[in-house]
Structure formats: C-alpha cells, structure tokens
Chains A and B, each alone.
Chain A
Amino acid sequence: MTDAAVLPEAQQSNAATAQPEAMAWDNKARRMVTIYLPLACFLLILLFPFYWMTVTAFKPNAELFDYKTYNPFWIGSPTLDHIKHLLFNTAYPHWLVTTMTVAVCATFLSLFASTLAAYAIQRLRFKGSQYVGLAIYLAYLVPPSILFIPLATMVFRLGLFDSPLALILTYPTFLVPFCTWLLIGYFKSIPYELEECALIDGATRLQILRQITLPLAVPGLISAGIFSFTLSWNEFIYALAFIQSSENKTVPVAILTELVSGDVYQWGALMAGSLLGSLPVAIFYSFFVDYYVSSLTGAVKE
C-alpha cells in the first residue's frame, strides 16, 4: 500500500521533466502495473471458486478425478449428468421451493414491520424515538449464533419444530433491524415539507403514509426487500437447528446434510447443487445491482 502510493508520486516528478510522449507512455505503464495488474489478480481470486464450481458441475466423473490426461481448467465433454441426478434423484426441487417460500414470506413480513417502525421513528418523532432507533440498531448486533439454542427450545415448545413457519418467524430477528435502519435513512431523504402540505390539505397520517411517503420510498423498499431476500436465502444456522425432515430443509442445509453421504463425496453433484442454489440469488442480484450497492453503502453510511 505504502509503496503503491509513494512510487507513482516519485515517478510523476520524474515524468514531469521528461518528454511529453515518454510521459504519456510512462503514465500508461504505471497505471498498468499499479492499478490494472492488482485489480486483475483480485478479480481472478474472487471469481475463481465460482469458475471452479461451474467447471466441476459440468464435468463427467472421469475427467473430474484425472488431471493428468485432461486439462483440469476446461471441460472435455460437458455433461448434464450431475444436474439430472440432482433434479430427479434427490429432493432438490423441493428444497428450492421451500427456500423460496421461506425467503419470500420472511421478506414480506419484515418489510411490513420495518416500514411501519421506520416511519414511526423517523416521521412521527414521539418522545424517546431516538432510543427506539438505538435499540433497533443494537438488535442488529446480536448475532444468530448466540440465539439459536434458546430459539430452538422456544420453537420446540411452540410446536413449530421442523416446520418452515419456524424459519419465517425467526428470520425477521436479523431482517427487521437491518431493514428498519435502512428505511429510516431513506425516509430521512424525503422532504418533510411534502407531508406538511398534505397535513394542511387535511390528510390523515395514514393517508400520508400510504399516498405520499410510501410511493416516494419505493426505491428504499426495493433495496430493503432485495437485501432481506438474499439474507434469508443465505441463512444457515437456524435452518440447520430447527429443521429435521429432509423435505423441509432449505438449499444450503440440504446440500450439506443430504448430499454429503458416506466417505465418497459426489463432487459433481455437490458443485451442481451449489451452482443451482447460488443462481437464483445471483440472477436476482444482477437485476438490482444498483439498489443493492446503494443499500449496502447507504446502511453503512447512516
């Protein structure tokens, strides 16, 4: 880091005295070495596991375990065997449906709760609303690894053990604080004067929320929704602790507990499962990248 920052400076002062063409070339080469090369390395390392996952998922078993005769980085004769096995010999479609249902329900539940909460904290400004905001912020700092044991006993006593409903009800514990926090920031950016105008025109508070604030907050709602969806799709520890029967498992848990059996791992099927499990989030994400990035950075900046 220090070198990267110091070197260009030293070179720049040299370049300033040199010929213009030399300076241009020097600049280009320097940019190449100090920016593009490290960036390419980062990209290579960050993307390699996904590439490897994809390549493995489409390789026949013969190529999978023989690096000497086949080039390991390319697929000699692509096959859909692993994916076929996954879709027709395992409960994979079922796991996908369960995960999707849980993620969508948990997202809507948390969006509903956190929109109202954020509106109350940011716009109604009752006495002590700052402290409620602070409490919600603190709630986000409580990690699931501390909560899963007592939650497991609760879920058991409520008779929700092994039911997706248990997940739908517990996921909001980490979704609601995050979404509320995000939406408070978003509501803050909507001019308060708009609501004042509506108040003068005789609108009730609920009308203002429904007809003025919410339509303006749609981008914020989308960001919060995307974030909640991804977070619930990725959730692991609750799903591992509360679900036992094979057909109610979510994709991450099921791949790890149902596909890994015995001493011989079916790497092809495992990788195909991981790939298929990542695709919905990745596609969903690619449609809303900008919302995603803005919510991530917005939440941090708050």
Chain B
Amino acid sequence: MSATTASAWTKPQQQANWLVRLFDWKPFLAFACLLPAAGLLLVFLTYPLGLGIWLAFTDTTIGRSGYWVGIENFQYLLEDPLWWNAVFYSVFYTGIATIGKFALGLWLALLLNNHLPFKSLLRAIILLPWIVPTVLSAIAFWWIYDPQFSIISFLLVDKLGILDNYIDFLGSAWPARFSLIAANIWRGIPFVAISLLAGLQTISPSLYEAALLDGSTGWQRFRYITFPMLMPILAIVMTFSIIFTFTDFQLVYAITRGGPVNSTHLLATLAFQRGIPGGQLGEGAAIAVSMIPFLVFATLFSYFGLARRKWQQGEGND
C-alpha cells in the first residue's frame, strides 16, 4: 500500500519536473522567450519588407495578383515628373526641417540646462507637441493656415500692419512647402530638445570648471566640451529624426494631401495615393522601395559621420 501511494505521489511530480526542467534548460528557454517577439516581427515586419520589394517588381493592382514585370515600375518612375518632384520635396523637407529642429532644439536644450524654477513642469509642457497625435495637431495647423481666417495673417495684417494682404499659406507651391516644414519643425523640437537635454546633463561639471580655470570663453566651452560630449547622442537622435522625417506621412496627408497641384507630395504620400486609393499596388510599392536607398544613405551618413567619437567614451557599443 505504501508503495502504490508512493508511486502515485511521485508520478505527477516527475512530470512537472520534466516540464520545469525543460523550461530551465537555457537554449529552450531562450528560444521560448524570443518566440513571441521574433514571430511577430518576422511575420509582420520582415516578410512584408520582402513582399514589398517583390511587389515593386510586379504589376499588382487591388484585387488582382500581379505578374513579374522586372524593373518596368522603376523605369516608369524615372520618367515621371511627379516622382522626381516628390524626391526633391522629400529631400528638401528633410534637410530644412532637420536643420531647423536641431538648431532650435539644441538652443532650447541649452536654455533648459540652466538652473530654472519649475524645471520638471517646464519639461513636461515642452514635450506636449510631441505626444499629442500628429494628425490632430496637424489639423490645428491647417486651421491656423486657413486662407481667410488664419490667425497669423490676422495678426500680421490687421493688428501689426506689417503685410498688406493675407498670406495664402496652402494655396501655392512654395508657401505650402514652407508651411509644412514649419509644422514639422514645431512637432520635432520637443523630442530633440529633451533628448539633447538628457545628454547635456550627463556632461560632468568638472570639465567646465577645468576649462574655466584655464580661461576659456563661453564659445570655446561650447565648441570644445559641450559639442563633442553631445556628439554620440546627437548622432543617434539625428539618425532617427532623419529617418522619420524623410518617411513622414501624417503631417502632409492631413494638411495638404500633396496639393496644391501635387507640389507637396513626399514619397510616402505619393506611394499611398498611387497604392491604396489608386489601386496600383505595384507602383506604390516601387515608390516606397525607392525610399530605401535614401534611408540607408542618410543612416550611414549621420551614424558613421557623427558617431566616430562614440567608441572613445566608454560603455561600448549598443
């Protein structure tokens, strides 16, 4: 009797042990832990990336799977003035917006790095433009840029009398382009400022003290201490900023939808217009794929161009 109870007692325990031991076996546990993330990313990121590149070489439309057409889509794009226009504006938009964001963001970060009252409250308020859904703040900008009821025009014309006519922000090509860039800069400043502020706060004050003792000027301290010490974080933030500005979609789609007369199309909005409402999935995918070389180039440039010093500052690479 005692033997039967003993076997009945040990059997489930052993089974549990087997399972527990399997989960305690490192290779299996690592595999099991990585499975959900890897599964999600492989199915919904890697596979679509490959599929997108394949679609770019086919003539797929909505409702009909396409045939391989080689580089026909790209040949067509190279002759398409709209695509060239979108390439030009994407590069222009990214360039000007990045310069604006980083100049103003760095300035704001340096301001915030001073000893200020209500510092954390200030920081919280400054991040607001970044956390509010872009489309919703874009709609506010759309209203601010209204041709008839723009508050900016009202201030400049009726209150201050600087201009004679209301500005037609979104009605013609160049004003519309710059209006969008202004909105993008507005949205990007908080992210740049707060990340750079974090970088500024890691710089040891003893470096500045040493420099002060050596009789450095404010500019010298900025140029030879702040800037080099900020470089690694600047490189990463800039890489991100460039990638997400170049592939921006929401802001342009919400404010102008690529208009007036297609002058403000970015590659992403053009890809969307051709691909989803237009139904030309193959062509849309080709436009989306044509962003990849620009992105790779921008990433390599900003990462390796700016991050040279990163290895010298400890912690290793990550």
Do A145 and B291 touch across chains, with their CB atoms under 8 A apart?
yes
Q: Considering the complex, give the chain B residue whose CB is closest to the CB of A137.
A: B318
Contact of B131 with A by CB under 8 A? yes
What number of A residues sit within 8 Å (CB to CB) of B? 100
Residue from A53, A114, A256 in contact with B37 in the complex, judged by beta carbons closer than 8 Å: A114
In residues 151-196 of chain B, which contact A (Cβ within 8 Å)? Answer: 151, 154, 158, 186, 189-191, 194-195
Contact B249 A1 (CB under 8 A): no
Is B111 touching A147 in the complex (CB atoms < 8 A)?
no
Known contacts A52-B151, A277-B133; A177 and B41 CB within 8 A of each other: yes
Chain B CB within 10 Å — which of A2, A49, A147, A256 has the most? A49
Contact B48 A293 (CB under 8 A): no
Q: Which residue from chain A places its CB closest to the CB of B246 in the assembled complex?
A: A143
Contact among B139, B217, B318 with A255 in the assembled complex (CB-CB below 8 Å): B139
Complex Cα distance, B244 from A300, in Å, reads 15
Q: Is A120 an interface residue (CB 8 A)?
A: yes
Decide: B48 and A154 in contact? CB cutoff 8 A.
yes
Given contacts A149-B275, A255-B135, contact A1 B107 (CB under 8 A): yes
**Majority SS at the chain A contact face:** helix
A32 at the interface (CB under 8 A from B): no
* Size of interface on B: residues with Cβ below 8 Å to A: 106
**Across the interface, which residues of A come within 8 angstroms of B20, CB to CB?**
204, 206
Asked if A42 is at the interface of the complex by the 8 Å CB criterion, the answer is yes
Q: How far is the CA of A120 from the CA of B109 in the complex (A)?
A: 36
Beta-carbon contact of B55 and A234 below 8 Å: no
Flag the segment in A14-22, A81-89, A284-292 that touches B: A284-292
**Contact between chains at A152 and B139 (CB < 8 Å):** no
Known: A241-B276, A274-B140. A117 touches B36 (CB 8 A): yes
List residues of A (1-19) whose CB comes within 8 Å of B's CBs.
Answer: 1-2, 4-9
Which B residues are within 8 Å of any A CB, using their own CB?
Answer: 20, 23-24, 26-27, 29-30, 32-38, 40-41, 44-49, 51-52, 55, 60, 103-104, 106-108, 110-112, 114, 116, 120, 122-129, 131-137, 139-141, 143-144, 146, 148-149, 151, 154, 158, 186, 189-191, 194-195, 197-199, 202, 217-219, 221-222, 233, 236-237, 239, 243-244, 247-250, 253-254, 267-268, 271-272, 275-276, 281, 284-285, 288-289, 291-292, 295, 299, 318
Q: Which 8 A-B pairs have the closest CB atoms?
A: A297-B198, A117-B37, A120-B33, A145-B268, A143-B247, A252-B135, A113-B36, A150-B52
Q: Which residues of A contact B (CB under 8 A)?
A: 1-2, 4-9, 31, 35, 38-39, 42-43, 45-47, 49-50, 52-53, 56, 64-65, 67-68, 72, 109-110, 112-114, 116-117, 119-121, 124, 126, 129, 132-133, 136, 139, 141-154, 169-170, 172-173, 176-177, 180, 204-206, 230, 233-234, 236-237, 240-241, 251-253, 255-256, 267, 270-271, 273-274, 277-278, 281-282, 285-286, 289-290, 292-293, 296-297, 300-302
